[in-house]
Amino acid sequence: MIIDDIRDSYKTIFESYGKPSLEEHIQKIIELDAFLPYSSTFFCITNTQDLTFEYISKNMAACLGLNADEMKSKGMRHFWSRMHPDDLELWLQALNELMGFTLKEIRIEDRDRMSYTWNYRFKNGQEDYVNIIQNTTPLEFDSTHKPIIGLAHYTVLAPQIKMPICASAKLLNVNSEYETVYFNNFSQKLLSDGISNRERDIIRLLVLNHSSKVIGDKLGISSNTVDTHRRNILKKLNISSTGELIGMLKMNNSII
């Protein structure tokens, strides 16, 4: 898949109208970056309308061995050129479905409380492919309420980890807990198609060692309802305990 095809597909997915100003917001994020520690993550401010990076944090060099200034000057086309060619079409399909879902299913007033996650393989500065999990939160919308500028966090994982291409969308609820409203695995499936979005949220919180009561408080349901979901999850996956579930997920590194 050539870069021009990617550009055309990407621009079609994110076609938008109107150009907002985010200078003050971006400046605050840049100032914050100076105080953040080095880690296995970095962040960018992405502009899907202009296909540019408004800002790239200092950690990109530590995480990927790439020059942030060069990446910013060359923009998204250069970034795409380093993605694994086998992942490009699935990645574009994931983005297209996430955008379609948002415009069709998410109310305008809720769109600034959304969070999107997807993954792909990416060539680092040593010319080795590593796994990247990208989580993007919208910062600004165009005149049709389509998200066009986002704060993207990238987590870099070892290349030995085998990861299916997945995409998810989460909505921040009144208890400040992100609830899954969309999930799709575009490669082979680890979890059964029968697992609901509510069950995915419970699985994610179980992996974090939260009790049924804490999970219920976060999701606005009773602990008894959580326990019912837990039993159903184990039955659907044909496993006998929560410990076995957590072990299975850690072995397969699936995105919940």
pTM exceeding 0.85? no
Q: Binning pLDDT at 50, 70 and 90, where does residue 7 land?
A: confident
CA distance 120 to 97: 16
pLDDT at 142 over 60: yes
Q: Binning pLDDT at 50, 70 and 90, where does residue 36 land?
A: low
Q: Tally Cβ neighbours within 10 Å of residue 56.
A: 24
Which of 34-43, 98-107, 147-156, 241-250 shows the lowest mean pLDDT across its residues?
A: 241-250
For 1-15, what is the mean pLDDT? 79
CA distance 44 to 36: 14
For each of the domains in the chain, give its residue range(s) and CATH number, in order of start. 3-187 (3.30.450.20), 189-256 (1.10.10.10)
H/E/C letters for each residue in the chain? CCHHHHHHHHHHHCCCCCCCCCHHHHHHHHHHHCCCCCCCEEEEEEECCCCEEEEECCHHHHHHCCCHHHHHHHHHHHHHHCECCCCHHHHHHHHHHHHHHHHHHCCHHHHHHEEEEEEEEEECCCCCEEEEEEEEEEEEECCCCCEEEEEEEEEEECCCCCCCCEEEEEEECCCCCEEEEEEEECCCCCCCCCCCHHHHHHHHHHHCCCCHHHHHHHHCCCHHHHHHHHHHHHHHHCCCCHHHHHHHHHHHCCCC
What per-residue confidence (pLDDT) applies to 21?
A: 60
Average model confidence (pLDDT) across the chain? 84
What per-residue confidence (pLDDT) applies to 203?
A: 83
Residue 239 amino acid letter:
I
In this predicted model, what pLDDT tens digit does every residue of 58-76 receive, in sequence order?
889 989 999 999 999 999 9
